[in-house]
């Protein structure tokens, strides 16, 4: 037997396997590169997409909270302006009715007893209220009897306004377009009806004050816009004040809050009059056919998220290229020992058996083992590098999330704090009141509430000015916060000159003691109030009460009882505190109900 031949035959399967491995070298390199590359792509894409989606949702929630906050403020400002205008025209109307000529047998028709006096009242009214551009006394046929504008001889009212004035003498509001780019707010009231003729008082107010109110808030960006719209006769929405990005009065807003195309609760995407995609919500102005629409371009609102998306894409490309290069190097280092082993196998196939096989079985196997160890070390270092990059990215994401959470906390604090007095606002009180009501209902504990109103605060503002009025509100808030210092007590500005104090787990006696202390404290502090008819200093009226809520009680009813007690304190002369009616009977009934409940539980046990 030929030893060489038999030795060669025994190793044929091994040589065939080595050839197969040699043919698959390129495939193995490609497979290793693709595995590493795919793993990197999936990890980076999944992390980036999850972060992008989460950050976008949080940013939209922030925009929605901002819009809701601005909507409440703007709606209140517009409503206050309209209420002030209604009050002005009613006051003037009441003065002019005193001068109406009531003589029925007078041959010469005179609407007023003293025309000069009426003219003086009109001029004085226009001078006192700068925002009023014109005051007119006219007949229902449009004939102007008297006006602060001497050139005005005829004034035409809309048909709907005339019909409302013929039915009743209440104030009617209308918008009139006098020139292509100038509109005004018209308020009319019926002074008298005689012989099917009406004498009408009309005030004309420029819309610049409304425009100032609409643009007063601090926005999120340049493209944020507040649109004040009214419900037109054709069912569409038309702007009351000029739109921000156009000077043309004929541009249609495209967003109609009166037909349900825009929600007042949830921010959604729309296309505005510029053809731009925007986020928008709406807010109806009470007692009017007006609405406020708040919008911002989606491109600007999501600018931060888009920048992060671009950064993530750049990071993905960079990481992919780096991993691809590393994968090629690693793959080649993995195939080198197999290539050398193939060369040795070829040498064995050529007949160099004794030396090459001995060398292959001893030296080359050791080299191959060392190569595997080297490859393993390189792979470990590669994983460490990749893990380090992931940790760095994770740390960056954590820092970004922490900054965003801090911004959300700051925004939440701003929305729950009154910007003037630096105490809690009405929203914070509403949340705390309903929360404590439920907690007191579960634990059958007492809940006390005080509603405080500064006496004759309007006269304070009229005498000392609104700046002094703001200082007074700040001092009042400081005094109330100093009196109530428990951690769970809440002092909040409810609106205007009204404050509320929520006292969980406070008895009726303690509540009354605190209410009395507040009245005495203001008497001791003696904040000057020169226009007050009841004292030379600032005084307050208080309505207070204590309740033990049950699952069947209504928090609104209790709040209305406190408000009624405050009204009673005002009726009785102000500068005092009044409890809710039947306070002792209510508490006694609640105590009896609690005792019965305890007896039932005892018998059940």
Q: What is the pLDDT of residues 313-330, one digit of tens each?
A: 787 788 778 777 876 776
Based on the fold, state whether residues 454 and 555 are members of the same structural domain.
yes
Whether 506 is covered by a domain: the verdict is yes
Based on the fold, state whether residues 510 and 440 are members of the same structural domain.
yes
Whether 89 is covered by a domain: the verdict is no
27-36, 51-60, 90-99, 551-560: which has the highest mean pLDDT? Answer: 551-560
Question: Tell me, what CATH number does 245's domain have?
Answer: 3.30.450
| Structure tokens that stand for 128 in this block | 């006192």
Task: Look over the chain and give the mean of its residue pLDDT values, rounded to a whole number.
Answer: 77
88-102, 252-266, 304-318: which has the highest mean pLDDT? Answer: 88-102
Q: Which domain holds residue 276?
A: 219-301
C-alpha R_g of the chain: 41
> Which of 299-308, 343-352, 395-404, 457-466 bottoms out in mean pLDDT, i.e. has the lowest?
343-352
C-alpha torsion sign, points 301, 306, 307, 309: positive
Residue 361 has pLDDT above 70, yes or no: no
Based on the fold, state whether residues 590 and 480 are members of the same structural domain.
yes
Based on the fold, state whether residues 495 and 592 are members of the same structural domain.
yes
Residue 298 has pLDDT above 90, yes or no: no
Counted residue by residue, the chain has a size of: 605
Q: How many domains does the chain have?
A: 4
Based on the fold, state whether residues 554 and 438 are members of the same structural domain.
yes
Reported as a pLDDT band with limits 50, 70 and 90, residue 354 is very low
Whether 580 is covered by a domain: the verdict is yes
Whether 86 is covered by a domain: the verdict is no
Indicate yes or no: pTM above 0.85.
no
Whether 91 is covered by a domain: the verdict is no
Based on the fold, state whether residues 190 and 119 are members of the same structural domain.
yes
| Structure tokens that stand for 192 in this block | 């008298």
Whether 65 is covered by a domain: the verdict is no
Based on the fold, state whether residues 388 and 485 are members of the same structural domain.
no
Rounded percentage of the chain residues whose pLDDT exceeds 70: 75
d(CA 382, CA 379): 5
Beta partners for residue 153, in sequence order: none
Span 128-160, pLDDT tens digits: 888 888 898 888 788 888 888 888 878 877 777
What 3-state class would DSSP assign to 410?
A: helix
Based on the fold, state whether residues 193 and 293 are members of the same structural domain.
no
Considering 280, 301, 322, which residue would you say is the last residue of a domain? 301
Based on the fold, state whether residues 464 and 591 are members of the same structural domain.
yes
The conformational region for residue 43 under phi > 0 = left, psi -120 to 50 = alpha, else beta, is alpha
> What is the rounded (10 degree) CA torsion for 296, 298, 300, 304?
130
Considering 348, 383, 413, which residue would you say is the last residue of a domain? 413
Element spanning 543, H or E: strand 540-547
Considering 187, 210, 233, which residue would you say is the last residue of a domain? 210
d(CA 539, CA 534): 8
Whether 82 is covered by a domain: the verdict is no
Based on the fold, state whether residues 122 and 223 are members of the same structural domain.
no
Provide the H-helix boundaries in 283-364. Answer: 298-301, 303-349, 353-359
Determine contact, residues 504/445, Cβ cutoff 8 Å: yes
Whether 496 is covered by a domain: the verdict is yes
Reported as a pLDDT band with limits 50, 70 and 90, residue 589 is low
**Higher per-residue pLDDT: 405 or 571:** 571
Based on the fold, state whether residues 139 and 160 are members of the same structural domain.
yes
Based on the fold, state whether residues 272 and 331 are members of the same structural domain.
no
Residue 592 has pLDDT above 80, yes or no: no
Average pLDDT, stretch 331-352? 56
Average pLDDT, stretch 363-373? 50
């Amino acid at each position: 037997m030929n030893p060489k031949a038999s030795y060669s035959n025994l190793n044929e399967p091994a040589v065939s396997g080595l050839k197969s491995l040699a043919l698959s070298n390129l495939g193995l390199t490609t497979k290793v590169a693709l595995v590493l590359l795919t793993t990197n792509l999936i990890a980076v894409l999944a992390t980036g997409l999850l972060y992008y989606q989460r950050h976008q949702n949080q940013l939209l929630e922030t925009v929605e909270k901002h819009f809701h906050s601005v909507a409440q403020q703007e709606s209140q400002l517009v409503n206050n302006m309209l209420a002030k205008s209604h009050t002005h025209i009613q006051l003037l109307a009441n003065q002019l009715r005193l001068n109406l000529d009531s003589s029925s047998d007078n041959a010469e028709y005179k609407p007023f007893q003293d025309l000069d006096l009426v003219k003086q009242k009109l001029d004085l009214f226009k001078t006192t209220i700068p925002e009023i551009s014109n005051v007119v006394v006219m007949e229902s046929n449009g004939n102007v009897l008297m006006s602060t504008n001497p050139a005005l001889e005829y004034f035409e009212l809309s048909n709907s306004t005339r019909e409302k004035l013929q039915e009743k003498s209440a104030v009617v509001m209308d918008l009139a377009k006098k020139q292509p780019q100038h509109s005004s707010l018209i308020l009319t009231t019926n002074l008298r009806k005689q012989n099917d003729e009406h004498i009408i008082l009309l005030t004309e107010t420029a819309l610049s004050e409304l425009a100032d109110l609409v643009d007063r808030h601090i926005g999120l960006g340049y493209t944020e816009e507040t649109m004040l719209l009214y419900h037109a006769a054709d069912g569409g929405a038309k702007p009351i004040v000029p739109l921000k990005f156009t000077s043309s009065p004929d541009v249609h807003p495209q967003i109609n809050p009166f037909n349900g195309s825009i929600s007042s609760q949830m921010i959604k995407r729309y296309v505005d009059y510029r053809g731009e995609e925007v986020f928008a919500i709406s807010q109806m102005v009470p007692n009017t056919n007006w609405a406020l629409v708040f919008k911002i371009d989606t491109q600007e609102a999501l600018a931060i998220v888009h920048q992060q998306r671009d950064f993530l894409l750049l990071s993905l490309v960079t990481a992919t290229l780096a991993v691809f290069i590393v994968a090629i190097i690693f793959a080649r280092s993995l195939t080198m020992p197999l290539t050398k082993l193939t060369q040795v196998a070829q040498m064995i196939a050529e007949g160099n058996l004794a030396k090459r096989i001995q060398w292959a079985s001893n030296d080359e196997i050791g080299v191959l083992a060392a190569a595997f160890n080297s490859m393993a070390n390189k792979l470990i270092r590669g994983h460490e590098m990749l893990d380090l990059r992931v940790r760095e990215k994770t740390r960056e994401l954590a820092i970004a999330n922490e900054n965003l959470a801090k911004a959300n906390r700051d925004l939440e604090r701003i929305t729950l704090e009154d910007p003037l007095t630096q105490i809690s606002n009405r929203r914070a009180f509403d949340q705390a009141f309903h929360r404590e009501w439920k907690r007191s209902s579960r634990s059958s504990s007492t809940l006390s509430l005080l509603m405080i109103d500064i006496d004759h605060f309007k006269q304070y503002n009229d005498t000392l000015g609104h700046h002094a009025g703001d200082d007074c509100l700040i001092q009042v808030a400081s005094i109330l916060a100093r009196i109530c210092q428990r951690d769970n007590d809440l002092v909040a500005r409810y609106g205007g000159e009204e404050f509320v104090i929520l006292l969980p787990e406070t008895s009726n006696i303690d509540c009354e003691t605190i209410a009395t202390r507040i009245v005495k404290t203001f008497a001791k502090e003696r904040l000057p109030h020169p226009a007050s008819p009841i004292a030379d200093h600032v005084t307050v009226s208080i309505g207070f009460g204590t309740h033990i809520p049950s699952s069947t009680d209504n928090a609104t009813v209790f709040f209305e009882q406190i408000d009624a007690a405050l009204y009673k304190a005002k009726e009785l002369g102000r500068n005092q505190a009044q409890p809710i009616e039947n306070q002792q009977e209510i508490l006694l009934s609640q105590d009896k109900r609690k005792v019965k409940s305890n007896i039932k539980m005892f018998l059940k046990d």
